[in-house]
Amino acid sequence: MKTQPSLDQLISIDGKRALITGAAAGIGKAMTARFAEAGAHLTLVDIDSETLAATARELTESGVAVTPHVVDVSDEDAVDRLWIELRENEPDILVNNVGIYPFKRFSEVDGAFYDHVMRTNLSSTVWMCRQMIDRRRDRGGIIINIGSTDGIRPAADELSHYSISKAGVIALTRSLAKAHARHGFRVNAIVPGAILPSGAKQVVQKMVDGGVGAVKIGAEYVRRTPLGRLGRSDEVARIALVLASELASYVNGAVIPVDGGFLAA
Ligand SMILES: NC(=O)c1ccc[n+]([C@@H]2O[C@H](COP(=O)([O-])OP(=O)(O)OC[C@H]3O[C@@H](n4cnc5c(N)ncnc54)[C@H](O)[C@@H]3O)[C@@H](O)[C@H]2O)c1
């Protein structure tokens, strides 16, 4: 009788190359820690050179193999240049985690603002997936896109642009999962609910960025969520690791909420 692999073997991504975008902070940073713990070599991509260097330093000091790249993933040419640099070292696992969520009333959303949000949240994911699929067509790979519950059930009135971009991430995920499983790809999305920023400094920054709206949304979210609290970045990172590993070998085209039950309530 064929013996089943052990749990340790299934969760391990030892020696795999994982590229995480938006890796310097928040959910992306939490993923770097879990992926490193599971044995991956990390390629970290972020636009913020200072925070990225600090995150890379922390990981290197704990003995993890890390290659940081400062890239604006909303810039198609910059993404193409990144993948030229990665040649021969393309990732086995790609996590498209970059996303911004600036609050703005729908009536005030102008073309430049809308384009910026769409390019950062959706086009960047398209450019990264296209490169991954083109360059690994003979080997396949794993793609994890980070959406949001807002792409399914909007939580805030001032985030219509964000909801549109995240609905696009879900549609992209499903369409690639269908078209490219035959080339050896598994493509899935995680849709986090409201996640607590990792440090006190970040909490203050998010409140400054989102203003009163962000605080109100947070309170409303907690009231509505069956688990009755905000999520933590690491709780998203754990599910990303499951999707990246052989534990999820038959999971493709899935959209997995990590939201304390928000979408069910
Ligand atoms: N935090 C939440 O409550 C929450 C909820 C649902 C979904 N999400 C999604 O999870 C993902 C991560 O969110 P977070 O709250 O951890 O974000 P964050 O703001 O804490 O970190 C995002 C990182 O992305 C980087 N970044 C931003 N624009 C970039 C660009 N153009 N190119 C490269 N790097 C760029 C930033 O420098 C930062 O390091 C996003 O896609 C977000 O939409 C977050």
Over residues 230-257, the mean pLDDT reads: 98
pLDDT value, residue 207? 65
Q: Which domains does the chain have, with CATH numbers?
A: 7-258 (3.40.50.720)
Two tokens, residue 166: 């995240």
Instruction: Choose between 203 and 161: higher pLDDT.
Output: 161
Identify the pLDDT of residue 210.
66
Bridge partners of residue 195, in order along the sequence? 231
Residues annotated catalytic, as ranges: 162
Check the CA dihedral 46-47-50-53 and report its sign.
positive
Q: What is the pLDDT of residue 52?
A: 98
Which sign does the torsion angle of CA 25, 27, 28, 30 carry?
A: positive
156 lines ligand 1 (CB under 6 A): no
Please compute the mean of the pLDDT values over residues 24-40 and round it to a whole number.
98
pLDDT at 37 over 60: yes
**Distance, CA of 135 to CA of 138 (rounded, Å):** 8
Residue 169, ligand 1, Cβ within 6 A: no
Nearest residue to 205 (alpha-carbon basis) of 100, 57, 117: 100
Using CA atoms, how far apart are residues 190 and 149, in angstroms rounded to an integer? 9
Distance CA 100, CA 157 (A): 16
Mean pLDDT of 181-188: 98
CB of 146 closer than 6 A to ligand 1? yes
Is 211:101 a contact under the CB 8 Å cutoff?
no
- How much is the mean pLDDT over the chain? 95
From the alpha carbon of 149, which atom of ligand 1 is closest? 6
Nearest residue (by CA) to ligand 1, atom 23, is 22
pTM given for the model: 0.96
Give residue 225's pLDDT: 98
